[in-house]
Amino acid sequence: MKHGIAMAIVSAALAAGCNTVPAPAPAADTPAPVAGACSAQPAQVLVGQKLTSVLAEEARQLSGAKAARVMRPGQAATMEFNSQRVNVTVNRADTVTAIHCG
């Protein structure tokens, strides 16, 4: 009788162990995607165009950024890096000269 109970316990433990599937470990070298992260490459088509509020918004949308900042010559700007912001740099004639993230 003891032998039968022991076999039942061992069988149940083995069956329970077969039903659990460990979750795959996340890759250590793959960063988690950041919502609103900027990618300036798609917005490069706007370089050379005249700055308007519509163009600044288009740069934000094309880059996937949450915010857009226009940077004019001689303008003071904070230097902190923001991965969710696209910077639209213009010259004195308000022509877009560069678009980059940060």
Domain for residue 80, yes or no? yes
Domain for residue 5, yes or no? no
Domain for residue 82, yes or no? yes
Domain for residue 95, yes or no? yes
Domain for residue 1, yes or no? no
Domain for residue 23, yes or no? no
What's residue 4's pLDDT?
A: 56
Domain for residue 45, yes or no? yes
| Residue ranges of E strands in 1-102 | 67-71, 85-90, 96-101
Structure tokens at 19: 């039903």
Helix segments in 1-102, DSSP class H: 2-19, 53-63
Sequence-distant (≥ 6) Cβ neighbours of residue 92 within 8 angstroms: 72, 73
Mean pLDDT comparison of 8-12, 23-27, 73-77, highest-scoring range? 73-77
Average pLDDT, the chain: 81
Domain that holds residue 90: 41-101
The residue with greater pLDDT, 22 or 51, is 51
Structure tokens at 89: 């740099």
Per-residue burial over 40-54, b if 16 or more Cβ lie within 10 Å, else e, is beebeebeeeebeee
What's residue 11's pLDDT?
A: 55
Domain harbouring 77, CATH code? 3.30.10.10
Rounded percentage of the chain residues whose pLDDT exceeds 90? 60
pLDDT at 23 over 80: no
Domains of the chain: total? 1
